[in-house]
Structure 1
Amino acid sequence: MISSTASDPSGVTDAIAALQSGDVYVAPGVQGQSAMTDALSAAVPGDRTIAVVVLPEDADLGTVYPLELLDRLSERVPQTTVVLAVGDDLQAGSTVIDSNDVLRIANENEAAAGGDTQTALVETVQQIVEENPSSPGLEAGGGTDWLLPVVIGGAVLLAAGGTAIGLLARRRRTPKTAVDPVPPGIRLRVDRLRELRVDYANLPGNPVATETAAGIEALASHVEQLFVRLDAKAETDQVALAEAEYSDKLARLVAALERDYLLDLLTRPDLWDAPEERVAEVREALAAVTTQIIDNIKQVNARKGLLFQVSLDSLIGRSELRDWERQFKKNSGE
């Protein structure tokens, strides 16, 4: 039996090693480890495209950002799609299916299963297989697809009793048409952030620009994750609240990160008064908004109301950035 190493208490290193030769890893100590392994092994398609990992609920205590464990797994396992459960929190990522779609599927099944992680995982794998036309059982004339629910149901019946009845009784959901969970106005700002990230990444020999590029990408990614999770787990009013909060804050940041402000400060500081102070203000604002969004993601995961505490007063106080909404709309064509 593989056990978690002292150097990596999360169990990810052990999971990566196990997935080199198999598709399922359930960490030692997870309740019902053996039965869950059997059920999940019956659910995966067997073509080494989908990996399923189950870790204890405290496995992510040492992580720096949401989905860090999923990212580590995805980078180092041979499977193209990874489904991860940390306790009863489901996550998913893929290089062959839109990651927003697989994450949405995981979150919807997590909510529908009501705390039954095994059921949520099996349903998630089934729907991901349906999303990927190259998976076994989805080819025209294939004879195995109709057997999949029976095989899975039998394995779960042996492993977990009544859980199988629920699985067999539940009709398989028809895959939804992909809809971007990120509101259009927020998506416009995220797209502009990514365009600006390239400008900072391409600025040679400037460590501040390099760090800013990484910070912009982290912010954009976290914004997307917030709205993906809100779409799957939260009430409509919470989505509207987050949209209102981040529509203006992201626009302010975009204005501050534009080529005629921070990028110009980094390339021609001699043409500005107090350039170091201005650069620090923008970098602090970028970090503060990212931190608040990470906190919001954690609040969504915990089914708590969203809290907002970042004001960006330093950017508002700059006359060059005061009319941030007009500037953003002019630059983006909104």
Structure 2
Amino acid sequence: MSTIEQIIQVCGDRTVCLVDGASISDPDSLASVLPSGARVLVIPAPDQAQSVSSGTVANEFKAATGAQTVVVIEDRAKDRFGVASNGDANKIATELNSQNLPDGGEAVANIASTLVSAGPAPSGGQGDGGAPWIVGAGVLVLVAVGAAVTTLLIRRSRNAKRAVGASRKLEKQLEAALHGENGEFVRDAIDEIRRLAGAYPELGPRLNGLSEHLSELFVRVRSRGTDQQLRLLLVQYRDTLSKLVKALADDYYGDVQRNPQYWSNPQGRLAEVQRAVDSVDLQAVENIRQVNESRDLEFKVALDSLIKAVNDAKLSDVYSDRDPSNPQS
């Protein structure tokens, strides 16, 4: 991570500064609600070997810039904070942590008005030196149209930022839920399913839906379920997703799709994989309902026949005119 001196130099007078690739969901929106005198730094999670805490960073940045309050957000699965303030820094830190939000930017935005004492509000009126009045009906119409277009663009931009923010928030929550060897495997499988959604356009909507439902399932079981349920889901979906991803791989589903002439019953094979995607998706949604309603988790999808078809794909399947007992035929 950058040194404190580098952070001070790079961040300068920025209201919200992202350091070394660290991120929060919507820095622009946060900057727009921070009062004058408040500054936010977002830094990567310090390594254990690093002796400089986020609180030290906050204090030194505050001393160097003259800010009234500095909040340092450590970018983690669940963000942490360091605070330096002319007011009650401990109270601010407590208010941030008590919200129990994974995204630190959202937590800071929720208490932004309390970070410093209120200053004088900027004047909204126009004096003699203000912008001139615009006269003429035609000009007024153009101004109105321009204002409408600007408003629409601003709304679209805000909606896009909210979507990105929601996505980042979900990713952080998912990262917190998927830990350990099984968790890492499931996370990699979800990432691979997302990638395959782009590789197979005809399956794209199904695979995107599946990845969303899987992510939602693990986020919800972490927040609403029990540790036992989370462990059970990780074990079960590691097995299920390993089979599904293997069937969706380029050397099976992709090759059958591109080269049906080299496979026996190619349409049946493709349909079997597609049914498997739908079955796993339906199970994930049902598991979400079971978590929400505190019911026992049920798993009805095994994919054993599918993985057998994948594992048994040999020369006799690819070249149906060959006798597998005679490689020279």
TM range (shorter): 0.3 to 0.5
- Bigger Rg, structure 1 or 2: 2
What's the TM-score, normalizing by structure 1?
0.44
